[in-house]
Amino acid sequence: MAIKRFERYVWIVLSYTIIVILWGAFVRATGSGAGCGNHWPLCNGEVIPRAPMLETIIEISHRLTSGLLLLLIVGLTFFSFRLFPKGHIVRRGGVLTLAFVIIEALFGAVLVLLELVAHNASLTRAFSMSLHLINTLVLVGVITLTGMWVRGIAAPDFKGRGRLLTWVIIGVVMTMLLGASGGIAALGDTLFPTTTYADGLAQDFDMTANVLLRLRVLHPVIAIGTGIVMVIVSQLIAQMRPIAGTRAASRVLLVAYVGQLMLGSLNLVFLAPIPIQLLHLFFADVIWVAFVVLIGLALQREA
Range with top average pLDDT, 96-105, 117-126, 163-172: 96-105
pLDDT band at 6 (very low <50, low <70, confident <90, very high): very high
Task: Give 101's contacts (C-beta < 8 A, 6+ positions apart).
Answer: 69, 70, 73, 139
Q: Give the pLDDT band of residue 147 (cuts 50, 70, 90).
A: very high
What phi and psi values does residue 43 have, to the nearest 5 degrees?
A: -120, 110
pTM: 0.91
What pLDDT is recorded for position 93? 97
Chain segment 170-197, per-residue pLDDT in tens: 889 999 999 889 888 888 888 888 777 7
* Mean pLDDT over each residue of the chain, to the nearest integer: 87
* pLDDT band, very low/low/confident/very high, at 10 (cuts 50, 70, 90): very high
| Residues 6 or more apart in contact with residue 136 via CB below 8 angstroms | 21, 104, 179
Domain extent listing, the chain: 1-152, 155-303
Is pLDDT of 280 > 70?
yes
Across 27-36, 180-189, 280-289, the highest mean pLDDT is recorded for 280-289
At residue 213, the 3 state secondary structure works out as helix
pLDDT at 271: 79
Reported confidence tier of residue 51, pLDDT bands at 50, 70, 90: low
Over residues 77-97, mean pLDDT = 96
Mean pLDDT, residues 70-80: 97
- pLDDT at residue 246 is higher than 90: no
Q: What confidence tier does 1 reach under pLDDT thresholds 50, 70, 90?
A: confident
C-alpha triplet 85, 10, 242: angle, nearest 5°: 90
Cα angle vertex 68, ends 66, 69, to 5°?
A: 65
Confidence tier at 303 by pLDDT (50, 70, 90): low
Mean pLDDT of 18-42: 85
- Which carries the bigger pLDDT value, residue 93 or residue 228? 93
* CB atoms near residue 100 (< 10 Å): 20
Q: pLDDT-based confidence at 13, cuts 50/70/90?
A: very high
Which of 23-37, 168-182, 233-247, 253-267 shows the lowest per-residue confidence on average (mean pLDDT)? 233-247
Helix 244-269 and helix 274-299: axis angle, to 10°? 160
Top pLDDT among 103 and 299 is at 103
**Please, what's the b/e burial string for 273-283 (b: 16 or more CB within 10 A of its CB; e: otherwise)?**
eeebbbbbbbb
Alpha helices for 30-119 (secondary structure H): 54-83, 89-113
